[in-house]
Copies of this chain bind each other. A is one copy, B any other.
Amino acid sequence: MVSASLLIIGDEILSGRTQDKNLAYIATWLNEAGIQLAEVRVVQDIREDIVGAVNAMRAQFDYVFTTGGIGPTHDDITAESIAAAFDLPLTTHPEAYRILTEYYGAEDFSDARKRMSKTPEGAELIDNPVSIAPGFQVENVFVMAGVPKIMQAMLEMLRPRLKTGCKIWSQALTIHAPESKMASRLGDIQEEVVGVSLGSYPFFREGKIGTQIVVRSADKALITTAMELLEAYCSAHDILREGRADIV
């Protein structure tokens, strides 16, 4: 199984001013690519915090994706922080410099904008079809923009560079009962059907208590086996259930 981690960089997420939209998108995208997102961290725009998180994560996981902090302003310190994490100099990337000069025109290519052509030495660029200024890759670390549309485009650009694992399928069963009604049986099925992972997620809808049970596996047949055991238990114990959702 290929593992990944995500580092979200930005004071604006931690202050509550901006609601992060990248976590859910990247989590789903990686899951569909058969890559397991195993940890996420959100840190402030502070160099030591970024360095510490990147170094911990790149040692532990196959991939590290970062979002945010690669624009032209004083609080965009991701490139210099990644350089520090790898103990590399921060240098002007010739190709980034070229495409940004071409885009802005030599006259409007200000010092602030030139910041966006700096990368750790030897970095490989990640194309940005939306607003030109590129992301970059150093070893197993992929540095992307924070603006969702740009990040999503960059993620597609780097898809060919990623090893992907087998897709994890999942299927949900919704029951109209608190999860404690099923809890002990869920634990048993988890042990009986080797190769599936069962999750149980309580909800309140229009004042009613219910639970969504999610069965996940790389093998669709095992999902069906577990699902049949769940439904049999519901029938035997008068637990109201909805039809199975599709396997996705």
Contact = CB atoms under 8 A, between A and B. Distances in A.
Interface of A: 8, 11-20, 23-31, 36-44, 49, 71-75, 110-113, 115-116, 130-131, 147, 149, 168, 170, 179-180, 182-184, 186-187, 190, 197-204, 209, 214, 216
The main secondary structure of chain A at its interface with chain B is mixed
Contacts of A168: 15
A201 B18 CA distance: 9
- 9 nearest CB pairs, A to B: A16-B28, A112-B183, A16-B27, A74-B187, A40-B42, A72-B180, A72-B183, A73-B200, A73-B183
B31 A39 contact: no
Q: How many copies does the complex hold?
A: 2
Contacts of A41: 39-42
Contacts of A149: 204
A14 B42 contact: no
A27 B8 CA distance: 14
B23 A110 contact: no
A14 B168 CA distance: 13
